[in-house]
Every structure is written in C-alpha cells, then in structure tokens.
Amino acid sequence: MQEASSELQAGQRYEVPPFSLSVATDIEVQAISVHELAEEQIRVEEKQRVLGFIPNFYVIYEANPVPLAPSQKLELAWRSSMDPINFALTGAVAGAQQVQNRFAGYGQGIEGYAKRYAASYGTFLTGTMLGNAVLPIVLHQDPRYFYRGTGNTRSRVIYAIASAVRCKGDNGRWQPNYSSILGSLAAGGIANLYYPAADRDSAGLTFEDAAIGMAGSAAANLFQEFVVRKLTPHARETASGQ
C-alpha cells in the first residue's frame, strides 16, 4: 500500500507523487455444462403444479432454454407417468367408463374395472413414453411447450395453436412435431391389441383419434399460454419470447 501525506498552510499547493494501482490477476471462472443447465431446468419443471398439485412438467418458462439429453427426456416422461395425480385421474376415467358400460367386453364388477383401469393407463403410458421420450430421442425433438408470454393476443393464439403440430428440435429450430403425431398414432394402434374386439378402432378411426388429439393439444396450449401460468406457483418469472 502506498501512502503520501503533508501539512499545508493556507494558499499552499501540494502535488501528489506518482503512484500505481495493482489489480488482482487471479480470476476464478466456474463453467457449467449444457447437461447441468438442462438438469436445473428439469428440477424447476418438476416443481410446476397447477393449483399446487396438478403436474405441469412439460411447459418451459425459461428465456433461453437448453435442449434435453436423451436420458433427461426419459426422466421427464417417466416422472410424469408415475405421478400420483395421473394414477388418480386414470381411476376416475375407468370409473366413468364402467358407469357408461364402455368397452362392454370387459364386463362389470371389480374385474371389469381393473381391466378398464389397466387399458386406460396403458394407453396413457404408451402415448407419454413414445410421444415424449422415445420418438423425441430418435428424431432429436423437444417434447415441451415453450411458453411465449409476449406479443399481442392474436400472435399468441396463433403461436399456441401452431405448437400443436410443430415443435423445437434439439438444434433450436422449429419443425413439424413428428414425435407427438406419430406417438398418438402408435398409441392408438397398440391399444387395439388389448381393447375388446368389438371396441377396436379401424385404421381410419385411429387417424381420426390422432386428429382429435392434436385439436386437444391446441386447446391445451391456449390454456397454457393464457391461464395456467397464473395458477402455477413455481413457474419461473421469465418467458421464452419465441
């Protein structure tokens, strides 16, 4: 440390001698990999629950999200499939089917309910794992909805509806959402293996169901874009702005 001092009388001047400042040269830089950033994103997404209990894992609120690794896509799909809420919802669906005597070939009673429950959950599990994990891994696509949150209402409506048939690739570019479309078709086709013969869909109905599924996805995206974020306590305070 350099010091300089002097006593001055009224009207006197004092010239400070030259001095130099030293700057620390040791700078610590901590690098975070893309995989670690994605892990942080997943931890946040797995805390996102509408009204505090309904899983909302497949929406990304990050301003600059990074792509998921194959293992992370599997993790998110498995975590969603095993969430207790989805087991409860499957039970409600199976109960409604039994009351309406849908899939009559399963019969009634506990055995009929168990068959309906297994079939309903099997279709949900197949669609989730194929459409949100296996196909996105193979086709290098991101299964999440990228919340926009900016722009006028019209542009956000168009964005939400379009997101039902397009998605982001792992390269960050928008592309047709082959994963979701093919996943819906595959799940419908596989369901024909275990539904009663009288209730099995023809190929035409399978495609029709896939189209209905896409329309449902568009409606869900609109709900995500304008309503759900306000009801999700742990949503990040950022938006993708895409």
d(CA 77, CA 82): 9
Q: Are 199 and 107 in contact (CB under 8 A)?
A: no
- Which whole-number Å values give the CA distances from 175 to 18, 73, 130, in the listed order? 64, 18, 18
Q: What is the pLDDT of residue 83?
A: 93
d(CA 242, CA 45): 18
- Three-class SS of 62-102: CCCCCCCCHHHHHHHHHHHHCCHHHHHHHHHHHHHHHHCCC
The full set of domain ranges for the chain reads: 64-231
Task: Read off the pLDDT of residues 90-104 as tens digits, 9 standing for 90 and up.
Answer: 999 999 999 999 889
Task: Read off the pLDDT of residues 148-170 as tens digits, 9 standing for 90 and up.
Answer: 989 999 999 999 999 999 999 99
Q: Are 130 and 137 in contact (CB under 8 A)?
A: no
- In this prediction the pTM is 0.77
Torsion angles phi and psi, residue 71, rounded to 5: -65, -30
Can you say whether residue 151 is alpha, beta or left, with left for phi > 0 and alpha for psi between -120 and 50 degrees? left
Burial category of 232 from C-beta neighbours within 10 Å (exposed 0-12, middle 13-18, buried 19 and up): buried
% pLDDT > 70, the chain: 81
Task: Read off the pLDDT of residues 102-119 as tens digits, 9 standing for 90 and up.
Answer: 889 999 999 999 999 999
DSSP 8-state code for residue 17: P
Task: Read off the pLDDT of residues 219-241 as tens digits, 9 standing for 90 and up.
Answer: 999 999 999 988 887 666 544 44
Q: Is residue 26 very low, low, confident or very high in pLDDT (cuts 50, 70, 90)? A: low
d(CA 105, CA 195): 8
d(CA 177, CA 43): 25
Tokens of 173: 């570019």
DSSP 3-state assignment of 145?
Answer: strand
d(CA 145, CA 224): 9
Task: Read off the pLDDT of residues 129-149 as tens digits, 9 standing for 90 and up.
Answer: 999 999 999 999 999 999 998
Other Cβ atoms closer than 10 A to 152: 7
Other Cβ atoms closer than 10 A to 105: 12
